[in-house]
Amino acid sequence: MQALTLGEAVRLAMTQNPELAAARLELQAMEGAEIQAGARPNPEVGVLVEDTRSAARTTTLQWSQAIELGGKRSARLAAAARAREQAGAALQAKQAELRASVTSAFFEVLGAQEQVRLTQASLDLAYNATSIAGKRVQAGKVPPLEQARAQVAEAGVRAELAQAQSDLLLARQRLAAFWGQGQITFDRADGNEASLPELLSDQRIGELLTNAPAIRIARMEIARRQALTDTERARRVPDLTVTLGAKRAAELGRTQAVVGFSIPLPVLDTNQGNLLEALRREEQAREVLNATSVRVQAEVSQSIERLRLTREQVKLLRSDVLPLAQTTYDAAVKGYELGKFAFIDVLDAQRTLFQLRQQVLRGTAEAYRAAAELDRLLGRDEAQAGASTN
């Protein structure tokens, strides 16, 4: 059991995630398909025997080789290469998605840890308020009802602490699941829960958007479809088969050379249907690229706005609202001890302070979720350097 950093969490996921391993195997499979696409047709060896009588038997031994015409082999290789490149891009997209998911889950653990700490601090505040109320009841300054109220408030915070501890355990389990482990092997996440993810410039967003994983894969699909169209077009050209052999006539007692060739006549099947399908698939891929570009741009804009808004909200709460709420609570406790305020004022100030702290945690977690979604959409591999205290 040890502390886990974000870098270590990402490294574990990259090396042990089952889905990423499947994507790597898909790339290796496409490499095998590319090798096979370059294979040439095998030669054929045949024996033809005429007449069953040995004295009059004629035996022909022949070797046939199909010769591909029309650029079929180069077209197959091009299509296989495009498929292999697409599998590589899909692997990179999966890595970016996994990195973003791990980053989001890591900061969820950090937030859950901070939630436990803050709830424990709130429990200490509630315990202190209960103690003060008890002393004032004993002094006869307030009725026992105020002590009962304080005890109820303390019990409520204890329940919230139990919930926060449960949420922390679940967050740690979700993070550990990214590297295929059902058992948690770390006791805490080591990071700066007070940091905020950076907000990229418009220029940087534009640079990353042009090569976003989904858009890049859609472009590669067009290239692959174009290569498949070339393959179907090449198949319209019939292949030539050359035959060489020797013919032994037992009755004549001599061996004759056999030379021949054959070529199919593209009369009944011109591969027109397959070519038409390939052309339509190519057009379909272009439409998919347009739709993907529009979708990714819209999702990127939404993630940027979510990140910008949550950053501003959290910074405002931290700089202005939280200090004021803390000052108000301290003044309420001090005034209650001096008999200037009612206990209900202390409870209200305590509840407000606790809710604001929770709001800051939720906002910080939402900011990191938006940043992680942005990293996933843009295929950004800078997640580890994506935190800022600004």
Per-residue pLDDT of the chain (390 residues; tens, 9 = 90+): 578 888 888 898 999 899 999 999 999 999 999 999 999 999 999 999 888 787 788 889 999 999 999 899 999 999 999 999 999 999 988 998 898 889 888 888 888 888 888 788 778 877 877 787 787 777 777 677 777 877 887 888 889 889 989 999 998 988 988 887 667 778 888 877 677 888 888 888 988 898 899 999 999 999 999 999 999 999 999 999 999 999 988 777 788 899 999 999 988 888 999 999 999 999 999 999 999 999 999 999 999 999 999 999 999 998 889 899 889 888 887 887 777 776 677 778 877 888 888 888 888 888 888 988 898 899 876 544 444 444
pLDDT at position 383 is 43
Beta carbons of 361 and 115 less than 8 angstroms apart: yes
Range of the domain at 333: 3-388
Q: If we measure between CA atoms, which residue out of 386, 1, 17, 364 comes closest to residue 188?
A: 1
Tell me the C-alpha distance between 376 and 374, whole Å.
5
pLDDT at position 140 is 72
pLDDT at position 223 is 94
Torsion over CA: 136, 140, 141, 144 (sign):
positive
Tell me the C-alpha distance between 234 and 228, whole Å.
10
pLDDT at position 389 is 44
pLDDT at position 108 is 86
Joined together, the tokens standing for residue 11 give 């490294």
pLDDT at position 1 is 52
Q: If we measure between CA atoms, which residue out of 346, 225, 348, 368 comes closest to residue 289?
A: 225
Q: If we measure between CA atoms, which residue out of 309, 182, 267, 238 comes closest to residue 69?
A: 238
- What's the structural domain count of the chain? 1
Cα dihedral 157, 162, 165, 169 in deg (nearest 10): -150
Q: If we measure between CA atoms, which residue out of 381, 389, 388 comes closest to residue 102?
A: 381
Beta carbons of 229 and 223 less than 8 angstroms apart: no
Question: Per residue in 125-153, pLDDT tens?
Answer: 778 777 877 877 777 776 777 778 778 87
CATH number at residue 192: 1.20.1600.10
Question: Which DSSP string corresponds to 81-103?
Answer: HHHHHHHHHHHHHHHHHHHHHHH
Q: If we measure between CA atoms, which residue out of 78, 105, 380 comes closest to residue 229?
A: 78
Joined together, the tokens standing for residue 270 give 């011109």
How far lies 382's CA from each of 7, 12, 94, 379, in Å? Answer: 11, 17, 15, 9
The residue to which tokens 């692959």 are assigned: 224
pLDDT at position 262 is 92
Beta carbons of 68 and 41 less than 8 angstroms apart: yes
Q: If we measure between CA atoms, which residue out of 44, 66, 74, 75 comes closest to residue 263?
A: 66
Question: Per residue in 312-328, pLDDT tens?
Answer: 999 999 888 989 988 98
